[in-house]
Amino acid sequence: MSGALRQNEQILAWAEEGLLDAQQMSVLAEQGSLAPDAGDWKILLERVCIMAGVILLSAGVIFFFAWNWQAMHRFVKLSLALSGLSVFTALAFIASPASILYRSALLGCCIATGSVLALIGQTYQTGADVWQLFAGWALLIIPWAWLSCSAACWGLFWVVGQVALLAFFGQSQWHGLFAGLEGYQALLVIALANLVMLIFFECFYTRLLAQPRRAAQRLACFALLTALGSGGAAAWWSDEYAPLLFALLLSSGAMLVFYRQVRLDLPILAMTLFWLIVSATSGLLRLMGEMDAFFLIINAVGAFLMVSRALAFVWLARLFREYQS
């Protein structure tokens, strides 16, 4: 069904551009409806209701514990949390594999796993830091996400993993392996983690996702380029961030070639150009920072931004037209 909808969307886009006349559209309409029918809307509503029900049920379990925390015995808390996880597991077991109910139930397992970990940490005071909780949660999500082949589960894994990394580098009580990391080193670690995820999904996304969409790759690219781009912009003002600028240029060149020639992906290309423009603007400000002509600096930077953005827009628009044709 999703393939037919995408095909109909392409046909309607061609009609809006004037590539198909009324006679051609009537011929295509006779072969099949170009608009979603009642069955398509029913399937969509079923998916929305199932997904919303699982998310609301998972959130209800969490809020139930938050409201009744003090009045409940620790064994009752643990039993209820494990019961919620068991219900989602049983629901996934009886559901048809690859169905929306199956993937939604496994998403509930991912969420319930986090609540169980938080409950154990709060009840028994394990002494684990916040980042350790999120890191353990991210690792335990992987089996559920692998079974579900769901973009929602992998997206939750990405979010929890990023929170674990940020919490690890943001807290100051850690004195272990990564003690003493500088800011640019932390950004490099975040970029490297997302690069691994990007490469992994580019190689195996057809096996990891029931519907091979590119949300996971774009999320990984977003975090990767954000870490390298912010460090690359700071490199013009602090020499210790120079490795990030070099990594940004290297990775951006690779992405521009790969996602243009091998596997066209306009959102990733747009993000790459955005961070290149941000880094170049920061460098221009640094080079002109010692000048006294403030009016000249503002106009020069403004002109550079307008020209660079216009060139990026023209190039991406041309690629989009080539993709549609």
- Find the helix packing angle between 294-324 and 266-288, rounded to 10°: 170
Question: How many angstroms separate the Cα of 125 from the Cα of each of 47, 50, 117, 120, 122?
Answer: 39, 35, 11, 8, 5
Give the pLDDT of the chain (325 residues) as one tens digit per residue. Answer: 444 555 666 666 666 656 566 666 666 666 666 666 666 677 777 777 777 777 777 677 667 766 666 666 667 677 777 887 888 888 888 888 877 788 888 888 888 888 788 777 766 565 567 788 888 899 999 999 888 888 888 989 999 999 988 888 776 444 444 445 667 788 888 999 999 999 998 888 778 787 777 888 899 999 999 999 998 898 888 888 889 999 999 999 999 999 988 888 889 999 999 999 999 998 888 877 666 666 677 888 888 889 998 999 899 888 887 776 6
DSSP letter at 265 equals: -
Question: Where are the strands (E) in the chain, listed by range?
Answer: none
Residue of 121, 120, 164 lying closest to 156 (CA atoms): 164
For residue 82, what pLDDT is reported?
80
For the chain, the straight-line distance linking the first and the last C-alpha, in angstroms and rounded, comes to 22
Question: Are residues 131 and 168 in contact, defined by beta-carbon separation less than 8 angstroms?
Answer: yes
For residue 1, what pLDDT is reported?
44
For residue 211, what pLDDT is reported?
72
Chain centre to alpha carbon of residue 159: 7
Backbone phi, psi, residue 68, to 5°: -105, 25
d(CA 59, CA 104): 14
The token pair that represents 3 in the structure block? 């393939």
* Cα angle, residue 262 at apex, residues 258 and 265 outer, rounded to 5°: 70
For residue 174, what pLDDT is reported?
46
Question: Are residues 277 and 316 in contact, defined by beta-carbon separation less than 8 angstroms?
Answer: no
For residue 204, what pLDDT is reported?
84
pTM of the predicted model, to two decimals?
0.74
The torsion of the CA quartet 83, 85, 86, 90, rounded to 10 degrees, works out to 140
d(CA 246, CA 262): 23
Question: Which residue ranges make up each domain of the chain?
Answer: 36-165
The token pair that represents 110 in the structure block? 């991912």
Residue 231, C-beta contacts closer than 8 angstroms, at least 6 positions apart = 183, 184, 187, 188, 241, 244, 245, 247, 248
d(CA 156, CA 148): 12
d(CA 194, CA 114): 21
For residue 292, what pLDDT is reported?
65
Question: How many angstroms separate the Cα of 250 from the Cα of each of 228, 257, 276?
Answer: 10, 11, 11
Helix (H) or strand (E) holding 125: none
